[in-house]
């Protein structure tokens, strides 16, 4: 039985930025997860996004497969992904839909796949609005994370990380029933996220768990509770790499809940050409850089290749 976890709550609207940055630092060092409130995404927009998500996933499979994932955009069916590649299972019991950047060059935005307006007339407009609104919140949070790392708050902007960033929204649907009871089944098997930060919105159905000490055996899993209107934010592997493991990219998973579960994960990643290397504020003679520099796009492409070639 998993323990219930009490995560820190970060108020994005606080005028005391230094105090907020200190709270973020503690949260990222201790948990790698926190709640984000007063982030500027209205409850009505959350509601519309979840309604449109349910409409998409309720379409016949043959219709959804017309939008099958290409260039990390579009639909992935049940069992198409296995986040924990060490498992012998078929794959994770979820279906999803990726939406890449909706602003920037036509080369990037034209890669997105959209359901037909005839089938889902409000879908594209709703998702674009959500994408842009969460990006604004994410950029504000990144500036606070810079302060939390004893850097200038515009550090990541100066670095070019948020110059044509690569945000991806991922709609997720977990079924209420387990299709195959002969093997241990996960909605999302144990993994850490790949990029900078993730802002997760859920419908309130339980299932998300985290493991703070990924190398400890046996692993201890703790339930993450739903907080109405809050994002659940977690640090990704790229940010852990940038901070020389000061900020933790925490292992997490989604367990079957016995009822349908919907969520939307928003992955805020830097542009593909941004170099990710140990921050000066995170290394010293006693703590030298643990990872060599790497281009953001190369790092992410390799992580996706491993995930989707494990089937």
Average pLDDT (245-261) is: 95
Average pLDDT (184-203) is: 94
User: What is the pLDDT, as a whole number, of residue 181?
Assistant: 60
Average pLDDT (211-237) is: 93
pTM above 0.85, yes or no: yes
Residue 310 has pLDDT above 90, yes or no: no
User: What is the pLDDT, as a whole number, of residue 86?
Assistant: 83
- CATH fold of 3-308, please? Jelly Rolls (2.60.120)
Residue with the bigger pLDDT between 303 and 197: it is 197
Residue 1 has pLDDT above 60, yes or no: no
Span 107-159, pLDDT tens digits: 677 899 999 999 999 999 999 999 999 999 999 999 999 999 999 999 999 99
User: What is the pLDDT, as a whole number, of residue 252?
Assistant: 97
**Domain boundaries defined on the chain:** 3-308
Summary mean pLDDT of the chain: 93
Span 41-70, pLDDT tens digits: 999 999 999 999 999 999 999 999 999 999
Three-class HEC string of 244-272 = CCCCCCCEEEECCCCCCEEEEEEEEECCC
Average pLDDT (280-298) is: 93
CA atoms within 13 A on the CB side of 159: 25
pLDDT band at 7 (very low <50, low <70, confident <90, very high): very high
Residue 180 has pLDDT above 70, yes or no: no
């Amino acid at each position: 039985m998993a323990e219930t976890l009490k995560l820190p709550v970060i108020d994005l609207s606080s005028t005391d930025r230094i105090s907020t940055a200190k709270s973020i630092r503690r949260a990222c060092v201790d948990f790698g997860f926190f709640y984000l409130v007063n982030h500027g995404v209205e409850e009505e927009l959350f509601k519309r996004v979840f309604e449109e998500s349910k409409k998409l996933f309720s379409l016949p499979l043959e219709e959804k497969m017309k939008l099958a994932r290409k260039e990390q955009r579009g639909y992935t069916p049940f069992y198409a992904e296995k986040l924990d590649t060490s498992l012998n299972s078929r794959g994770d019991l979820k279906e999803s839909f990726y939406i890449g950047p909706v602003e920037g060059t036509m080369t990037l935005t034209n890669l997105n796949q959209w359901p037909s307006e005839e089938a889902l007339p409000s879908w594209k407009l709703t998702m674009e609005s959500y994408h842009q609104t969460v990006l604004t919140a994410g950029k504000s949070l990144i500036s606070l994370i810079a302060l939390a790392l004893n850097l200038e708050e515009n550090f990541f902007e100066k670095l070019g990380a948020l110059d044509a960033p690569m945000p991806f929204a991922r709609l997720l649907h977990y079924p209420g029933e387990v299709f195959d009871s002969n093997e241990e089944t996960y909605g999302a098997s144990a993994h850490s996220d790949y990029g900078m930060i993730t802002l997760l919105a859920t419908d309130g159905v339980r299932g998300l768990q985290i493991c703070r000490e990924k190398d400890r055996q046996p692993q201890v899993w703790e339930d993450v509770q739903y907080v109405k209107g809050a994002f659940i934010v977690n640090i990704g592997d790229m940010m852990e790499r940038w901070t020389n493991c000061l900020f933790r990219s925490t292992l997490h998973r989604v367990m079957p809940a016995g009822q349908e579960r919907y969520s939307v994960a928003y992955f805020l990643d830097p542009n593909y050409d941004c170099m990710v290397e140990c921050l000066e504020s995170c290394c010293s003679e006693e703590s030298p850089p643990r990872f060599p520099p790497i281009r953001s796009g190369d790092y992410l492409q390799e992580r996706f290749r491993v995930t989707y070639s494990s089937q």
